[in-house]
Amino acid sequence: MNAHTNTGTVLDRILEARRAEVEHRKRVLPETALKYGVKAALPVRDFSAALSRDGLNVLAELKPASPSHGVLREPFDPPALATTLESAGAVALSVLTESEFFRGSLKNLRDARKSVNLPVLRKDFIFDPWQVWETRANDADSLLLMVAVLQDAQLRDLIALGRELGMEPLVEVHTADELDRALAAGSRIIGVNNRDLKTLDVRVETSFELIARIPDHCIAISESGLRSHDDLRKLREAGFDAFLIGEHLMLAPDPAAALVQLLGTAPRKE
């Protein structure tokens, strides 16, 4: 099944740019070299276990910019942000690595991961096995796979390769159809993105509409548009295990204080 057709949306422009960049990088850095990098990479941290704890598990996202809001945080200091969010109670980090539309980088990922003891997800537009090798070679513990941009065979193969390298992927869906495809591919971590990738509109109701279709053996994550402790509490009661939160934290004058408020707890003491 072909999951995506070009309709001139922001997503289409991002994918076009990413495909061109990946093709260039593959010529510069062959997969064979990445495989040597994987052998030298830091040991994988358990992403699934971090998201499966009792309570409100927040996957805090380091995102310099976004297509919908432009620059979110400047200056942007990944190690400082990672450290302060870990101390505030984040159970894992998501780091944007797409450079043109989100101003991210693999260096941001490496720098953030070295600063904390948390597992780190690579957030990007991943569609090529070469990118999965690149992800592990840069010390990531998981990677995002978007059903909306992948064919069914691609999704299965990328999930399998991620697992082969020790990384359980977070498979992101936006609709019931995408959720069915994710489950058919054997996904174990399902992220429901409340943002419509074509219009960039956000509806938290999307999570409530899809949670009943996610099997209990899967880890369920609600993503986008979560701004209050009450949002997290209601979604937790509905059956979600974890919450991916980026822009709310990045726009806050004090991201750690914003996270503490979302969790409704005092910050962790080291």
Decide if 164 is catalytic.
no
3-state secondary structure of 125: coil
Give the chain's end-to-end CA distance (angstroms, integer). Answer: 49
Decide if 23 is catalytic.
no
Pairing of strands 92-96, 142-146: unpaired
Whether 267 contacts 88, CB under 8 Å? yes
Whether 223 contacts 49, CB under 8 Å? no
Decide if 123 is catalytic.
yes
Q: Which residue out of 66, 98, 115, 123 is catalytically annotated?
A: 123
Q: Which residue out of 57, 94, 193, 222 is catalytically annotated?
A: 193
Residues sharing a CB contact under 8 Å with residue 72, sequence separation 6 or more, in sequence order: 63, 64, 65, 66, 247, 250, 251
Decide if 224 is catalytic.
yes
Q: Which residue out of 57, 63, 98, 134 is catalytically annotated?
A: 63
Q: Which residue has the tokens 């990445």?
A: 34
Decide if 269 is catalytic.
no
**Stated length of the chain:** 270
Q: Which residue out of 86, 134, 223, 247 is catalytically annotated?
A: 223
Pinpoint the alpha helices (H) of 126-198: 129-137, 152-164, 176-184
- The structure tokens listed for 7 are 């309709």
In DSSP terms, which residues pair with 93 in a beta bridge? 60, 120
3-state secondary structure of 89: coil
Decide if 114 is catalytic.
no
In DSSP terms, which residues pair with 161 in a beta bridge? none
3-state secondary structure of 161: helix
Query: Annotated active-site positions, please?
Result: 61, 63, 123, 172, 193, 223-224
